Structures are given as C-alpha cells and as structure tokens.
C-alpha cells in the first residue's frame, strides 16, 4: 500500500513545505543528491505554477512501484482556470514567468514520466514520476 503525503499550496511558503516533503521522501527512497535536487526543483516548478496561476491546490508525494522499479511520484492538482492549449505550454520557450528552461517542459525533462490533464474552468492535474536508477 502506498502512503501519500500532501501539502496544500496557497502561498509561497507552501512551496518550501512541498519541497521539504519531496526531499524527505526522495532521501528515504535512496535517490542521490543530484536526483534529490532535480525532484525538488520539479516540485518547486509545479507548486509555483499552482501558486501563480491557480491560486491554490495541492502537491502530493508518494512512493511508486512498477515492474520491480521503485520511484517517486509527484501529483499536482488544482481547481484553477485550467490550461486552454496544453500543446503550447509544453513547448520550449513558451513561458509566462520568464524563467529560463523552466516551466512544464523543464519538469518533463527532469522527471522520467509526465502526464498532464487539464479541463478549462475546472482545473489541472499533473503526475510526474522519477525512477530510481
């Protein structure tokens, strides 16, 4: 059974809590320093998106398992405005916050698996997983 831990995100400090949660889990699972830093960066980005564009939502972290692989799964959900053109936000260079290489395509590259689901007017869910090597 997977235990899931969640952090509500509604202000900038919650981003730090979400990172902390992710880092603890990553350490526990045995991720090295670089992967820990990548996972927390991915969490930062996802949490920032929630904070900036949805207002509030939550980040949940859980241990994942698939075909003998172990990993960490980040689930970011919000009830914000949703994303009209997902293809566009997944394009490199498209960013509303002026970040370099950041944004969703950056998160996708930091992680091993990435899934996004968004409905305009009702919210967005992003699931990103990193497997232990």
Partner 1 sequence: MSDRDLIIDRYKDLLKTYLKGKSETALYKGQQFSRKLIEQQISPDDVLSDHVSVLHELFPDMSEELKDSFDFLLEVMIGYGFAYREHQSLRTRQRQLESEIEVAASMQQTLLMSDVPTVDGLDIGVKSVPAKKMNGDYFNFVKDHKSVSIAVADIIGKGIPAALCMSMIKYAMDSLPEQRMQPNLLLENLNRVVEQNVHPNMFITMLYGLYDTDLHEFYYAGAGHEPGFFYRASEDRFEDMFAKGLVLGVSRQTRYKEYQLRVNLGDMIILLSDGVTECRTSKGFIERDEIVDLIRAHMHKPAQEVVESVFNELERLQEFELRDDFTLIILKRKV
Burial (Cβ within 10 Å: 0-12, 13-18, ≥19) of residue 11: exposed
| Span near partner 1 by CB under 8 A; candidates 33-41, 71-79, 82-90, 124-132 | 33-41
Q: Closest separation between CB of residue 100 and partner 1, Å?
A: 4
By CB under 8 A, tell whether 98 contacts partner 1: no
By CB under 8 A, tell whether 69 contacts partner 1: no
Instruction: Give the separation between CA 111 and CA 121, rounded to whole angstroms.
Output: 27
Q: Strand 57-66 and strand 123-131: pairing? A: unpaired
Restricting to residues 39-68, which ones interact with partner 1 according to CB under 8 A? 40-41
Instruction: Give the separation between CA 74 and CA 5, rounded to whole angstroms.
Output: 10
Q: Which is nearer to partner 1, 11 or 32 (CB)?
A: 32
Query: Phi then psi for 31, rounded to 5 degrees?
Result: -70, 145
Name the CA dihedral angle for 41, 114, 55, 48, rounded to a multiple of 10 degrees: 10
Q: Which is nearer to partner 1, 36 or 77 (CB)?
A: 36
Chain centroid, CA 17 distance in Å: 13
By CB under 8 A, tell whether 32 contacts partner 1: yes
Q: Closest separation between CB of residue 116 and partner 1, Å?
A: 17
Q: How many residues bind partner 1 (CB under 8 A)?
A: 16
Chain residues that interact with partner 1, rule: CB under 8 A: 32-34, 37-38, 40-41, 92-93, 100-102, 105-106, 109-110
């Amino acid at each position: 059974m997977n235990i899931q831990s969640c952090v509500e995100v509604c202000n900038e400090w919650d981003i730090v809590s979400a990172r902390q949660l992710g880092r603890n889990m990553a350490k526990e699972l045995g991720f090295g320093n670089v992967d820990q830093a990548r996972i927390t960066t991915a969490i930062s980005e996802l949490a920032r998106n929630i904070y900036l564009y949805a207002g509030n939502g939550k980040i949940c972290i859980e241990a994942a398992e698939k075909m003998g692989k172990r990993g960490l799964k980040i689930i970011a959900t919000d009830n914000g405005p949703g994303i009209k053109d997902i293809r566009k936000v997944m394009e490199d260079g498209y960013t509303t916050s002026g970040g370099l290489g950041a944004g969703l395509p950056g998160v996708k590259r930091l992680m091993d698996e990435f899934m996004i689901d968004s409905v305009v007017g009702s919210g967005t869910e992003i699931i990103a997983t990193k497997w232990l090597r």
